[in-house]
Structures are given as C-alpha cells and as structure tokens.
Homo-oligomer: A and B are copies of this chain.
Amino acid sequence: MQTAVQKPHDQLAAFLADDMAAVNVMIRARMASQHAPRIPEVTAHLVEAGGKRLRPMLTLAAARMCGYDGPYHIHLAATVEFIHTATLLHDDVVDESQRRRGRPTANLLWDNKSSVLVGDYLFSRSFQLMVETGSLRVLDILANASATIAEGEVLQLTAAQDLATTEAIYLQVVRGKTAALFSAATEVGGVIAGANDAQTRALFDYGDALGIAFQIVDDLLDYGGAADTLGKNTGDDFRERKLTLPVIKAVAMADAEERAFWARTIAKGDQRDGDLQQARAIMARHGAMEAARQDALAYAARAATALQVMPDHPIKDMLRDLADYVVARIA
C-alpha cells in the first residue's frame, strides 16, 4: 500500500477492504424484495452509482479500532448506508432534484411516489438490520439520530430563506443533514465493540465534529473558498438562496444597506447580475468567510482531539488524517 500518497479515505477503504466487501454483499441481499422488483431497481440505481460509502466505513473503522471481531459491525454499516440512501431518495423529492452523483435522480427516472416509498422501505430494512444486532443501546442511538435527521430536514424547510436564522439553528440543520448520521455511525461502531463510555462519547464527538466541519467547508467552497478567487462551480447556494454559515455571519453584522441586499437576494429571491460578487464583497468586509473558515478548522481540530482517548491503532491515525483532509481545501 502506498499510504504516503493515498488520501485518508482511500487508506481506510484499503485497510477495511474485506469488511467493505461484506457490507456490499449485505446491502445487495437486503435491498432485494421478494414481491416488488421496483425496489431493487430504484435502490440499485443509487447504490451502484457508488458514493464514497464514507458513513459505513466510519462504522467499520470505529468497531475495528475498538477491537471488535464479531459479525454485527457489518449489519450496522449496512444500516447506516440504508438510512443514508433513504434520506437521499426523500431529499431528491423535497428538493425536486434532477441529478445526484452525476446521474438522473430516481424521482426523475421513475417518479416521486417510488422515491418516497422505496425510501420508506430502505428505512424499514435498516431497522430490521439493527434489530438483528440485539443491542438496545444501538437501537436507541439510531432512533435518536433518525429523529434528529428528520427534524433537521423540516427545520431547513422552514428556516431556509429566513434571515432570522441564527448560527444555533444552522448547527441544528447541519446536524440533521450531515452530522447526526456521522456521529451515530461512529458511536454504534464503538458500542457494538463494547467500548467504554469515554471512548463511546469520543466516537460520537469525532463523527459530530467531522460532519459539521465537512458541511462548513462545503458552504465555503460554494463561495469560492476562503481565498479571493471564484471557482467555476461556485454560487449555487447563493442562487438557491441558502442561508449557509458565511451568509448567516454576514447578515448578523449587516448595516441597514447590507440588510436590504440580503433581504432582496435571499429572502425575496430577487437576484441581478453582479449580486454574487456583491455578496462576496459584503462577506469580505465583515470577515465572514474567514470566521466560518476558523469554525471549520476548529471543528476538524475537535474531531482530531476527540480521538486521543482511543486505543493506539492504525485506524486511529487514518481517522485523524481524515479530519485534517476534510478541511485541507480551505486550510
């Protein structure tokens, strides 16, 4: 293995290759339906588009790092991927998306009905998988994560274009969109391995902080990163009137004229040529991008620090590298 040049994600994938293969077998087996062939059709479209499988890998990594050698980390990794896939299917209906992972979305290829119902089916299948582990604590963690995810999604719906959205609400939405499943993924890996309370808590903290850092970096890159250059794929969030972290920070510091600008472009959605540049200029004036960047770095550092109580293990180093890597593009 050429670990020196591999990305942390690829290092983990190589180290956990056998486990990941077992997860893929289980996903394929459990997404089948004896009665409704539409279900594996829709699921395969998404599952085989091949996302990075980061969430199930986090579960496997946490379990192995804690010395687990039983069978149930595979069930839990498949559980986490099914929950993720179910939320993607429902998100595409909610966002009326047309493309996902470079392919047309399921709601476009089939219909919204199929996306809603197949999402429900995958959620039920994930529920069966976790019941098979026989761990009430795992069930408790995943039930709570599911509620946080759904609550965050509803909150995003109502908070999306509301200039009164605070950083606290933003965090709640981000936990729902991203961090709740990251933190549940790592925590259940530790729980199934019988990790002690401090380690279980550390695994939760790692996933939570990693997920939040991940999302803030996403927000920053959409405005061209912390640097003063605009990339070619920037501006989507602005056009879609999303209240991401740098915008929330800029709104909080806005004078009357700037407030009118945000009210027009984000709250009302009346956007004109040059508005994106103007948004960036206002954010620069208040150091909003830089402040968000510092937040992302702090969350990545918090993730790395959380790992300190974990036992020495090659995976521990890879997870720390992963936390650094997530913010490398804005560092």
Contacts and interface: CB of A to CB of B under 8 A. Distances in A.
Interface of A: 33-39, 87, 90, 93-94, 112-114, 116-118, 120-121, 123-125, 127-128, 131, 134, 136, 139-140, 143-144, 146-147, 149-155, 157-158, 169, 172
Contacts of A154: 33, 36, 38-39, 114, 117-118, 121
A76 B69 CA distance: 35
Contact of A120 (B150, B169, B172): B150
Contacts of A121: 147, 150-151, 154
Contacts of A150: 117-118, 120-121, 123-124
Given A120-B150, A146-B124, A154-B38, A112 B114 contact: no
A280 to B, nearest CB: 30
Contacts of A93: 93, 112-113, 116
Given A39-B151, A151-B33, A155-B36, A128 B112 contact: no
A66 to B, nearest CB: 23
Contacts of A125: 147
| Interface SS of chain A | helix
B120 A157 contact: no
Contact of A112 (B112, B124, B155): B112
A124 to B, nearest CB: 4
Contacts of A152: 35
A74 to B, nearest CB: 18
Given A127-B146, A134-B136, A143-B131, A120 B153 contact: yes
Contact of A116 (B36, B39, B90, B124): B90
9 contacts: A36-B151, A36-B154, A90-B117, A114-B157, A118-B154, A120-B123, A128-B144, A128-B147, A136-B136
A257 to B, nearest CB: 32
A248 to B, nearest CB: 16
Contacts of A113: 93-94, 157
A136 B38 CA distance: 30
A117 B157 contact: yes
A154 B114 CA distance: 7
A185 to B, nearest CB: 16
Given A131-B140, A139-B139, A120 B158 contact: no
Which among A36, A113, A149, A169 has the highest number of chain B CB atoms within 10 Å? A36
Nearest to A129: B143
Contacts of A120: 87, 90, 123, 146, 149-150, 153
Nearest to A138: B131
A151 to B, nearest CB: 5
A169 B123 contact: no
A36 B147 contact: no
Nearest to A142: B127
A153 B115 CA distance: 12
Contacts of A34: 151
